[in-house]
Amino acid sequence: MSDKIIRIGGASGYWGEAAFPTEQLLNAGPIDYLIYDYLAEITMAIMARARAADPGKGYAEDFLTRAMFPNLARIAEKQVKILSNAGGINPRVCAERLRAEIARQGLSLRVAVVEGDDLIGAPATAHAQQGLRDMFSGAAFPPVEQMLSANAYLGAWPIANALRAGADIVVTGRCVDSALALAAAIASFGWTDQDFDRMAQASLAGHLIECGPQATGGNFTDWRDAGDIAGIGYPIVEMTEDGHFTIGKPAGTGGVVNRGTVAEQLIYEIGDPQSYLLPDVACDFSQVVIDDHGDGRVSVSGARGRAPGESYKVCATWSDGFKAGMLINFIGIEGRAKAASFAEAVFARARRALAELDLPAFTQEEVEIFGGASAQFDNVDEITVKIAAKHGSGRGAGLLIRELLGAVLATPAGLVVYTAGRAKPTPVIRLFSYLLPKASVPVSVDIDDAQGGVARSAYVPARFEAVDPPVPTGMPAVPRSGEAMIEVPLHRLAFGRSGDKGNWANIGIIARDPAFLPWISESLSCERVRTLFGSFGVGSVERFYLPGPGAINFLLRDVLGGGGIASLRLDAQGKAYAQILLGAMIALPQSLLEQAS
């Protein structure tokens, strides 16, 4: 075992990320790798639409203009390797622009491109003819003519191979988010494709920093502890050859790194923690140990790995009509009743307009009313109503906006509209996920050669015998004592984080004290959680136990109204679901609460 340590900075968590993290991390002392994650299912849909309109688009422009171009000289000077999935739907064009700018600045950085994930066109047509079905819902393959994108989630090995071949910057299309950090570790430590426990650890490191400052106080339950989020620090992982690592942030920056921030990000969007399935390794995160040093650094160990499956996950996006909607405010007495009355009138007008034009009815109508008493004025409501609908045509969806705006003078008193202009119909983009044998996905790596040209090599994934997942660990039993009980909101006992996977949402709950976990588990049955989210139409709820970090993960199926760009929900990605659950009342012994306090 060598004493080598690599340092990996997480400089981007989504498309639209701030510009300053690159400079911040370059100034934070020795850094070996900077990773940039830009992609999500919604992002792929947006990029697909951009490429359809312009063949030169379809990648994260921000990666070039805000992260790379102003910092290329520093990157070259400090010999920092750059790994990014900013290529999106069009990685080759992204890399060509990057190479041109490197040449313009007179630098000698070598750029590699990983391709093969893009399966739109003939491959997708072939998959449709094979009768492949959605891996989650069982739905039939979408109409090929309505498909916008189809991309396999590639793994870390093509990226690692590019690094081993001398690449300074690697641009990929769709890959699993954590693959960027895993590739850095593979290339640095010389791991083999059977170092499963080590790869699970590095994948966990990538998972923790793939969302940038969400590991350093962003989106944190105890948000006041994050301090100056305007100058929040971005995460830095320090990893040793055995895969163990610590996570911290640059000195003097805002935010916070502690057990809570790391545990929240660990459980974010993972589903079954014992079967977090990646192209290179199947991970078990249930026994992960999070050791808070108390100095802004947290050590993480205990991830276990086993052989991966023989398939890539493919996510396709397809267009299924249009949606339109607006937010309208009502201020004054009876605000909620006024909002409901106005919404009813708008839909009555819109339905009449559709009938007059011989257009079909809306395929979905949605009204959400929220808000409450004014914080400024006594006996005054401040209510917001969201009025939205879906239709098979843009014209039909647009009628909702036309009739809504046409009704604002014939409304209950107190209507307020704050908008920069008339809302427009937007496409409804649905997600379709399926499995595809790895051998059928032609992955390749292009890298600048010594003569200034580009050399291409194919990547052939390794094959392994299937390994059964570990047996799930049972929930902790409640110690019965007959003590006096007290009910408190869950947020006093736990941290929480939630997110989306297609039309599913997960809610991770991490006990502040391990002694709380049995009582949380007893109070939060699957049935109770299903009841709490019943108004969202949740299909079913599954619960998983993580004894290592002291956590429970709830998986809620069919709860997001279609999810992503397909949904009419205000919270189409389940980002606030943990905050809803943290308001649930939990019963536990009063002495236990007092002892923990």
- Average pLDDT score over residue span 35-39: 97
- Distances 178 to 127, 137, 167 between C-alpha atoms, Å: 27, 25, 19
- What pLDDT is stored for residue 555 in this prediction? 97
- Average pLDDT score over residue span 29-39: 97
pLDDT in tens, 397-437: 999 999 999 999 999 999 999 877 789 999 999 999 999 99
**Residue 597 pLDDT more than 70?**
no
Show me where the domains of the chain are located: 5-117+153-308+441-458, 316-431, 485-596
C-beta separation of 89 from 39 below 8 A? no
Percent of residues, the chain, with pLDDT higher than 70: 99
Residue in this structure with the two tokens 């992002």, named with its chain if needed: 43
Averaged confidence pLDDT in the chain: 95
Distance of CA 150 to the CA centre of its chain: 18
pLDDT in tens, 153-202: 999 999 999 999 999 999 999 999 999 999 999 999 999 999 999 999 99
pLDDT band for 291, please (50, 70, 90 cuts).
very high
How far is Cα 345 from Cα 385, in angstroms, rounded to an integer? Answer: 13
Q: Which two tokens stand for residue 297?
A: 């650094």
How far is Cα 180 from Cα 38, in angstroms, rounded to an integer? Answer: 12
How far is Cα 354 from Cα 163, in angstroms, rounded to an integer? Answer: 58
- Report the SS3 class of residue 259: helix
pLDDT band for 303, please (50, 70, 90 cuts).
very high
3-state secondary structure 366-400: EEEEEEEECCCCCCCEEEEEEEEEEECCHHHHHHH
**Residue 20 pLDDT more than 80?**
yes
pLDDT band for 377, please (50, 70, 90 cuts).
very high
pTM (two decimals): 0.95
pLDDT band for 473, please (50, 70, 90 cuts).
confident
DSSP conformational letter for 411? S
pLDDT in tens, 225-283: 999 999 999 999 999 999 999 999 999 999 999 999 999 999 999 999 999 999 999 99
pLDDT in tens, 497-542: 999 988 999 999 999 999 999 999 999 999 999 999 999 999 999 9
- What pLDDT is stored for residue 412 in this prediction? 96
| Burial zone of 217 (CB within 10 Å; 0-12 exposed, 13-18 middle, 19+ buried) | buried
3-state secondary structure 168-194: CEEEECCECCCHHHHHHHHHHHCCCCC
- What pLDDT is stored for residue 481 in this prediction? 76
- What pLDDT is stored for residue 482 in this prediction? 78
pLDDT in tens, 417-428: 987 778 999 999
pLDDT band for 394, please (50, 70, 90 cuts).
very high
Q: Which fold would CATH assign to domain 316-431?
A: Alpha-Beta Plaits (3.30.70)
pLDDT in tens, 93-147: 999 999 999 999 999 999 999 999 999 999 999 999 999 999 999 999 999 999 9
- Average pLDDT score over residue span 461-470: 88
C-beta separation of 94 from 170 below 8 A? no
- Report the SS3 class of residue 247: strand
CB under 8 Å to 477, separation ≥6 — which residues? 518
Return the closest-CA partner of residue 247 out of 323, 307, 322, 299.
Answer: 299
**Residue 466 pLDDT more than 90?**
no
pLDDT in tens, 320-368: 999 999 999 999 999 999 999 999 999 999 999 999 999 999 999 999 9
How far is Cα 207 from Cα 586, in angstroms, rounded to an integer? Answer: 30
